[in-house]
Amino acid sequence: MSVSSCSSAIHPFSAEPNPEKPLLLGCGEVHLWCVFSDLIFDVNLLKKYKDILSVEENQKASRFYRHHDRQQFLLTRTTIRTLLSLYEPDVAARDWDFGKDNYGKPFIKNYHIIDDMQFSISHSRGLVVVALTRGSPIGVDVEATNGNGDNLGLAKRYFSKEEYANLTALPIEDQNKRFFDLWTLKEAYIKACGEGLSIPLDSFWYEFTDGGEMSIDFLPIRNDCANAWFFCQLYPSQMHVISVAVKKSEIENVADPIVSVNKYLPLMYAETVNCVEY
Ligand SMILES: CC(C)(COP(=O)(O)OP(=O)(O)OC[C@H]1O[C@@H](n2cnc3c(N)ncnc32)[C@H](O)[C@@H]1OP(=O)(O)O)[C@@H](O)C(=O)NCCC(=O)NCCS
């Protein structure tokens, strides 16, 4: 597993679709897009976002009671639509058509246009994240780590016995980070599999060595194997952790995907950011 913290922008590029220069996403690549939602104060920009959404999406947005939730929904939908158009500039952002499968996993209905593109979306306080790849199932999860919830209570309820025991054995000052590492890794795996919480949360578990190396293991009912998976984690701000899970292939020695991390604000800017691996 690779773990990175992100710093300043290194490579700005146009946030407008360019038919002569579509963004390219090769096989074996993962593009991660981070949108810091607290950066939006411009009412005119929000109006432009509304114009990109479908009628149904705008209706759903208007049903959110809290301004913040409404804004986050608007931003999330605009982000996935405008991003897809950066890769496929011939399709206008408002023309993407989405469906949801029986587990709630969204998919692109006019899929044939954008060959084998797979995506996963996550949002938490202050940050929307979209992960894109080709051909392989992908899941992403982001969490804000500065809440004051009952983490150990949640861990006892949702984590496997091994994960809970290992978490509580850590020094107290390390438990918050490990809790969110585990939570986001579990969610990322669930989202890549696409079956939602029908996957028993104790049917797979992660272990960390003292050196920070992570491994996954499964109960036989999952019929899954660790070699088939690539995981990475990022800390894009002081208060966010992102985990990504990509199902590679069960064939031995398939290379890990190459991950690039980008900061994005729809219609405003797009830039690759520098990530330091450790
Ligand atoms: C819905 C779920 C897939 C993720 O929910 P979440 O972590 O609360 O929310 P996120 O923002 O990370 O992800 C939501 C997005 O996941 C996507 N999604 C929904 N169902 C999905 C599925 N079955 N598979 C993959 N992605 C899915 C959607 O894009 C959704 O965004 P949208 O609501 O704007 O359409 C599911 O895992 C869940 O309900 N989790 C609840 C939390 C929990 O108990 N976690 C246990 C962790 S140990």
pLDDT digits (tens, 9 = 90+) for 101-151: 999 999 998 866 677 889 999 999 999 999 999 989 999 999 999 888 899
Q: Per-domain residue ranges for the chain?
A: 2-277
Handedness of CA 222, 223, 225, 230 (dihedral sign): negative
Q: Binning pLDDT at 50, 70 and 90, where does residue 277 land?
A: low
Handedness of CA 175, 239, 129, 9 (dihedral sign): negative
> Is residue 181 within 6 Å of ligand 1 at its C-beta?
no
pLDDT at position 186: 98
Structure-block tokens of residue 56: 């149904």
The best mutation among 37, 63, 122, 204 to test binding of ligand 1, ranked by most ligand atoms within 8 Å of the C-beta, falls on 122
> Is residue 190 within 6 Å of ligand 1 at its C-beta?
yes
> Is residue 191 within 6 Å of ligand 1 at its C-beta?
yes
DSSP secondary structure of 45-74? HHHHHHHHS-HHHHHHHHH-SSHHHHHHHH
Structure-block tokens of residue 205: 């578990």
Query: Residue 139 Cα, ligand 1 centroid: separation in angstroms?
Result: 10
| pLDDT over 70 (residue 209) | yes
pLDDT at position 10: 65
φ/ψ region of 135 (left if φ > 0, alpha if ψ in -120 to 50, else beta) reads left
Chain center to CA of 194:
13
The best mutation among 136, 187, 243 to test binding of ligand 1, ranked by most ligand atoms within 8 Å of the C-beta, falls on 187
pLDDT at position 169: 96
CA angle 151-152-153, nearest 5°? Answer: 90
Query: Residue 102 Cα, ligand 1 centroid: separation in angstroms?
Result: 13
Across 18-23, average pLDDT: 88
The best mutation among 33, 191, 197, 242 to test binding of ligand 1, ranked by most ligand atoms within 8 Å of the C-beta, falls on 191
Q: Binning pLDDT at 50, 70 and 90, where does residue 252 land?
A: low
| pLDDT over 60 (residue 36) | yes
pLDDT at position 158: 94
Closest C-alpha to ligand 1, atom 41: 197
Query: Residue 94 Cα, ligand 1 centroid: separation in angstroms?
Result: 23
Nearest to 158 by CA among 219, 200, 221: 200
> Is residue 122 within 6 Å of ligand 1 at its C-beta?
yes
Query: Residue 123 Cα, ligand 1 centroid: separation in angstroms?
Result: 9
pLDDT at position 42: 83
Query: Residue 247 Cα, ligand 1 centroid: separation in angstroms?
Result: 18
The model's pTM is 0.94
Across 85-111, average pLDDT: 92
> Is residue 178 within 6 Å of ligand 1 at its C-beta?
no
pLDDT at position 276: 61
Query: Residue 199 Cα, ligand 1 centroid: separation in angstroms?
Result: 13
pLDDT at position 127: 95
In this structure, the dihedral spanned by the alpha carbons of residues 107, 48, 124 and 14, taken in order and rounded to 10 degrees, is 80
Query: Residue 104 Cα, ligand 1 centroid: separation in angstroms?
Result: 8
Across 181-187, average pLDDT: 97
Tens digits of residue pLDDT in 145-177: 988 889 999 999 999 999 999 999 999 999 999
| pLDDT over 70 (residue 273) | yes
> Is residue 103 within 6 Å of ligand 1 at its C-beta?
yes
| Segment of 52-61, 203-212, 249-258 carrying the highest mean pLDDT | 52-61
Q: Binning pLDDT at 50, 70 and 90, where does residue 198 land?
A: very high
| Beta partners for residue 106, in sequence order | 100
Q: Binning pLDDT at 50, 70 and 90, where does residue 228 land?
A: very high
Residue 265 half-sphere exposure toward CB, CA atoms < 13 A? 13
| pLDDT over 90 (residue 181) | yes
- Mean pLDDT, the chain, rounded, equals 90
Classify domain 2-277 by CATH architecture: Alpha-Beta Complex (3.90)
pLDDT at position 8: 63
Across 37-55, average pLDDT: 88
